A and B are shown apart, each in its own frame.
Chain A
Amino acid sequence: KAGVTQTPRYLIKTRGQQVTLSCSPISGHRSVSWYQQTPGQGLQFLFEYFSETQRNKGNFPGRFSGRQFSNSRSEMNVSTLELGDSALYLCASSIGTGGSGANVLTFGAGSRLTVL
């Protein structure tokens, strides 16, 4: 059974550019969540999608956006990149939505974004 696949794994952008990251969840998983990981900050929640609808959003500026397709694949976009956006962006999928023990998160390996 394939795990959560994130592409690209590494990318370098310059300030002001935009970037799109992709996440393919585990087959049968309908929920996809995105997290930003930076040293010392741990994992910060960006947003969650379930059945193509954004169910929850973290405390990030509007430059961060996402979407989910009918096959549950998800993309996130960051516009007008800033130096502080350099981070590892993690995608996690789960069978359903919600934070109960029935919805275990399975993470991908992440996309490491460097903004110069």
Chain B
Amino acid sequence: GENVEQHPSTLSVQEGDSAVIKCTYSDSASNYFPWYKQELGKGPQLIIDIRSNVGEKKDQRIAVTLNKTAKHFSLHITETQPEDSAVYFCAASFGNQFYFGTGTSLTVIP
């Protein structure tokens, strides 16, 4: 089955700096790659997603890039703010199942 690896597991940045989280996947058939943000005491919330026919997608301060050849995709957060502090999960979708990374705990230091 699909295997999704996510790095780093923890990340601390100064407010205003950029944060990058990287994920790799194993199955070239995966064609949908969502990113979720999970705040304390809440369920994961979709923040951005990308499909296999697109190389990059942006939504304000958040962007995701996909390299199908290398089988990796990344989340980029610019101008980080304290409210960006949360756990972020990447996922790869293959068939009728989603495979999640193990999460990155992002801390934005004011």
Q: Which of A47-75 contact B (CB under 8 A)?
A: 48, 55-56, 58
CA distance in complex: A43, B100 (Å)? 6
In whole Å, how far is B96's beta carbon from the nearest beta carbon of chain A? 5
In whole Å, how far is A38's beta carbon from the nearest beta carbon of chain B? 10
Beta-carbon contact of A42 and B96 below 8 Å: no
Residues of chain A within 8 A (CB-CB) of B96 are 48, 55-56, 97-99
Known: A42-B89, A98-B95. Is A110-B43 also a contact (CB below 8 A)? yes
Interface size of A by CB at 8 A reads 28
A106 adjacent to chain B (CB < 8 Å): yes
How many residue pairs at the A-B interface have CB separations less than 8 Å?
65
Beta-carbon contact of A100 and B93 below 8 Å: yes
Name A99's contact: one of B6, B89, B94 (CB within 8 Å): B94
A44, closest chain B residue (CB):
B100
Residues of chain B within 8 A (CB-CB) of A58 are 97
Name B43's contact: one of A48, A90, A98 (CB within 8 Å): A90
Could you tell me which B residues sit within 8 Å of A by CB distance? 6, 31-32, 34, 36, 41-46, 49, 51, 89, 91, 93-103
Interface CB pairs A-B, < 8 A, 15: A6-B43, A41-B102, A42-B6, A42-B101, A42-B103, A99-B93, A99-B95, A99-B96, A99-B97, A99-B98, A101-B32, A104-B46, A104-B49, A105-B34, A105-B98
Could you tell me which A residues sit within 8 Å of B by CB distance? 4, 6, 33, 35, 40-45, 48, 55-56, 58, 90, 92, 97-101, 104-110
